[in-house]
Structure 1
Amino acid sequence: MSTALTPAELTAAFTDHFGAAPDGIWTAPGRVNLIGEHTDYNEGFVLPFAIDRTANVAIRLRGDSTARLLSSYGDQGVATVDLDTLSHEAMSGWTAYPLGVVWVLRQQGVAVGGFDLYLDSTVPTGAGLSSSAAIECAVATAFNDLLDAGLSAEELVLVGQRAENEVVGAPTGILDQSASLLATDGHAVFLDCRTQEAKLVPLDLAAASLLVLVVDTKVSHAHATGGYAARRASCELGAEVLGVAALRDVDDEDLAEAAGLLDPETFRRVRHIVTEDARVLQTVAVLDDGGPAAIGALLLASHASMRDDFEISCPELDLAVDTAMAHGALGARMTGGGFGGSAIALIPAAAEAAVRAAVTAAFASAGFTAPDIFAVSPADGARRLA
């Protein structure tokens, strides 16, 4: 895991490349989705928390319509675009995320002019930890501040989602941006994706001597292609056949009837969403009543549903979950869009070394690429750093 540049280091890097100091530095975190997978675009419930891995952007406004963008990772060099002729085709690679936000803000009447931007991120890409939303939320927060746009956090969530949907081409819901913008230290964000109503739920892992271990399988995924879009299409078909606005409106007791109306694959997709929504609500109730040590079985049931009904797991994710459970985890599940990415394990802090070693050994024995394993804790959302 790369180490973030300090604000002073980021300022120095920006000044070195662009010839003047930035107007400020903004940060936004990645997220772990504790539970509630693929429920967001079905107008259901999710329970993510922001993590202590962030995207940091240094920005200086310019007096023209030119945008210059540079990242601390890779060797792509400076990307230069004219905002007055900005098109979707001109936005590619990592620059699609900040430029997508700028495009949406301009569409909404925010007068974003030229700027220089330097990005430094410690959120792993392709790991299901929402590296893209972290960039979007940092940039949206920055321009909201710099231009006194007066947009609320909830409005910035929708800016990021539009950038993801309309520019990047990923049909995601509001989960990622909501976690990155609304989170606070020591809490998860319980989000109703129909109403966009959010509530902070206590998730004080340290007080319970617990931690969440992330196992980045190094199996990369891309939301804009393939399986994610196919799962969303299955959900939309299920809602249409069942005559509801979204699968949020289907309850457990409706599943028996749904089984007779849907083809077997679509029924399995629907069953995952319906039962996953119920698990999110149960997890919130358990956290309120019994604390984080009591949610393990719900995490494990979520993984089984994603593996068997939604079919978005993979051998590496299953191995991470099974190995963690065999070595002391209270619960474990894949997290994120699926088809790779990361698994999470809720473990006693004292078991961290044993679980790390066991998962590493299991991957080596299976001939898989060595995973990146690290602990995360609930962190604050997007804000200005300097």
Structure 2
Amino acid sequence: MTASPSFDRPADLLDSVDGCFQTRFNHTPAGFWSAPGRVNLIGEHTDYNDGYVLPFAIDRRTVVGMRLREDRLVRIASSFAEEAIEISLDELIPENLHGWSAYPLGVAWALGRFGADLKVAVGFEAFIDSDVPIGAGLSSSAAIESAVAVALNDLWRLGLDRRTLARVGQLAENRAVGAPTGSMDQSASLLGQADAAVFLDCRSLDSEIVPLGFQAAGLELLIIDTRVSHSHATGGYAARRASCEAGAAMLGATSLRDVGVGDLDRARELLDDETFRRVRHVVTEDQRVLDTVRTLREKGPIAIGALLDASHVSMRDDFEISVAELDLAVATAREAGAIGARMTGGGFGGAAIALTPQALVPAVTAAVLAAFAAAGYAAPNLFTVHAADGAGAVPA
């Protein structure tokens, strides 16, 4: 079985999944598997440019209960929708997958590209529940994909390692869902460790665990979910990726990973203004990830605030993926005492993060709520998260 995570808030989700599974399928599940959402500390839109990212798994999780069938039928249900989805493994292709079920069923299909023989595999039944907020930029989708991936890896006895399962999740998201994302989200969900971030090289998929030390430094990471809906499958995300690819090609590079800060003067001369600014964000963001890792190791988390701030400015002005609610959340949190803040996730909505002294979390929370009310925005959802272990089987 896949190594078990430290799963410290199981009761509500496990009870929900167990009860709903039995109601839907008239059986008990063979087991339970869970996977966390993730927050990206820094490194936005660098993953699909073969760059660097620094996410960590969070203590909000998706749980799946699953059992194998004796035929080739797949039946899957969730707390997100009333209907259960049924499909034969013989019909399991991306073109047949739609809505929320494209995430878990896309994983089953993608496993067939990484060693699972779907021509002889047996079907399964699964029920999914989650407390990872949807649409907040905390990768609820990767939590679903990773939980299903580790479950099927165990039940189908595939023996795939975590890095391969991350690639499975990415392929599912790219082909079945239609979102042109990189592998960061799945890697964080699968490789995460408590009180640590995953420093991931998105070209090689090599990773290192980097201790965060937030608790020892008296810091909390406050999530400010603006409740502004976003979707990676929409045009804004795809347009940014296309700009990055065009910029790299015009600079004679395979990807923007091969463009350094020292190349930006040449890039300014060769590229139109918009493409240059897209390139500048990615190139400087890669450097900020490297600087953050070094700063965490040498000086500790209190010293990374300016890097978080600079990341937000770059996403706001150069990559143009922020929105007014995110900008207000970041500015207000900083004014109220956060040591650094930035939007996180793909952009166009979702959440901001604010690295905040523990004693100031109530004040920052109150300030943000007041600022949103004064601006006439819907009230955001604010909560703290902590770095958690990655996906795995839930102990019996």
TM-score by length of 2: 0.95
Distance, in Å, in 2 between the alignment partners of 1:9 and 1:26 is: 13
Superposition deviation, residue 252 in structure 1: 1.0
> Can you give the 5+ residue segments of structure 1 that lack an aligned partner in the other structure?
none
Secondary structure class of the residue paired with 2:244: helix
Secondary structure class of the residue paired with 1:358: helix
Counterpart of 1:305 (choices 291, 303, 314) is 314
State the match for 1:51 in structure 2: 58
Distance, in Å, in 2 between the alignment partners of 1:270 and 1:4 is: 46
State the match for 2:257 in structure 1: 248
Counterpart of 1:270 (choices 270, 279, 282) is 279
State the match for 2:4 in structure 1: none
Superposition deviation, residue 109 in structure 1: 3.7
Superposition deviation, residue 118 in structure 1: 0.4
Counterpart of 1:340 (choices 349, 365, 376) is 349
Secondary structure class of the residue paired with 1:328: coil
Secondary structure class of the residue paired with 1:22: coil
State the match for 1:71 in structure 2: 78
State the match for 1:110 in structure 2: 116
State the match for 1:196 in structure 2: 205
Deviations 1:91-131 (A, max 9, x none): 11110011000011123341442111100011111111111
Superposition deviation, residue 253 in structure 1: 1.1
On the 8 A contact 2:224/2:353 being kept in 1, the answer is yes
Say if 2:6 is the partner of 1:7: no
Letter in 1 for 2:104: P
Secondary structure class of the residue paired with 1:127: coil
Deviations 1:41-89 (A, max 9, x none): 1111000000011111000110111111111234x22111122122323
Distance, in Å, in 1 between the alignment partners of 2:212 and 2:102 is: 33
State the match for 1:62 in structure 2: 69
State the match for 1:99 in structure 2: 105
Say if 2:179 is the partner of 1:170: yes
On the 8 A contact 1:184/1:381 being kept in 2, the answer is yes
Counterpart of 2:46 (choices 36, 39, 42) is 39
Deviations 1:170-207 (A, max 9, x none): 11011001100001001000001111100000012111
State the match for 1:221 in structure 2: 230
Deviations 1:267-309 (A, max 9, x none): 0000001100010000000000111111000000000000000
Distance, in Å, in 1 between the alignment partners of 2:348 and 2:237 is: 8
Distance, in Å, in 2 between the alignment partners of 1:88 and 1:44 is: 28
Say if 2:147 is the partner of 1:141: no
State the match for 2:246 in structure 1: 237
Distance, in Å, in 2 between the alignment partners of 1:86 and 1:80 is: 10
State the match for 2:92 in structure 1: 86
State the match for 1:261 in structure 2: 270
Deviations 1:140-176 (A, max 9, x none): 0001111210101011010001001111111101100
Superposition deviation, residue 5 in structure 1: 2.6
- RMSD of the TM alignment (CA)? 1.3
Secondary structure class of the residue paired with 1:346: strand
> Can you give the 5+ residue segments of structure 2 that lack an aligned partner in the other structure?
1-8
Letter in 1 for 2:58: I
Say if 2:370 is the partner of 1:366: no
Say if 2:376 is the partner of 1:357: no
Superposition deviation, residue 6 in structure 1: 4.0
Distance, in Å, in 2 between the alignment partners of 1:291 and 1:109 is: 42
Distance, in Å, in 1 between the alignment partners of 2:339 and 2:152 is: 42
Distance, in Å, in 2 between the alignment partners of 1:72 and 1:141 is: 20
On the 8 A contact 2:56/2:192 being kept in 1, the answer is yes
Letter in 1 for 2:29: P
On the 8 A contact 2:72/2:123 being kept in 1, the answer is yes
Distance, in Å, in 2 between the alignment partners of 1:89 and 1:36 is: 32
Distance, in Å, in 2 between the alignment partners of 1:260 and 1:109 is: 47
Deviations 1:220-245 (A, max 9, x none): 11101110000000000000000011
* Count of residues in Structure 1 that have an aligned counterpart in Structure 2: 384
Counterpart of 1:26 (choices 30, 33, 37) is 33
Say if 2:313 is the partner of 1:293: no
Superposition deviation, residue 9 in structure 1: 4.1
Letter in 2 for 1:171: P
Superposition deviation, residue 3 in structure 1: 9.3
Distance, in Å, in 1 between the alignment partners of 2:281 and 2:113 is: 36
Letter in 1 for 2:315: M
On the 8 A contact 1:3/1:122 being kept in 2, the answer is no
Superposition deviation, residue 379 in structure 1: 0.5
Report the CA distance shift for 1:159/1:52 in structure 2 as closer, same or farther (over 3 A).
same
Letter in 2 for 1:273: V
Superposition deviation, residue 8 in structure 1: 4.0
On the 8 A contact 2:224/2:352 being kept in 1, the answer is yes
Secondary structure class of the residue paired with 2:346: coil
Letter in 1 for 2:113: Q
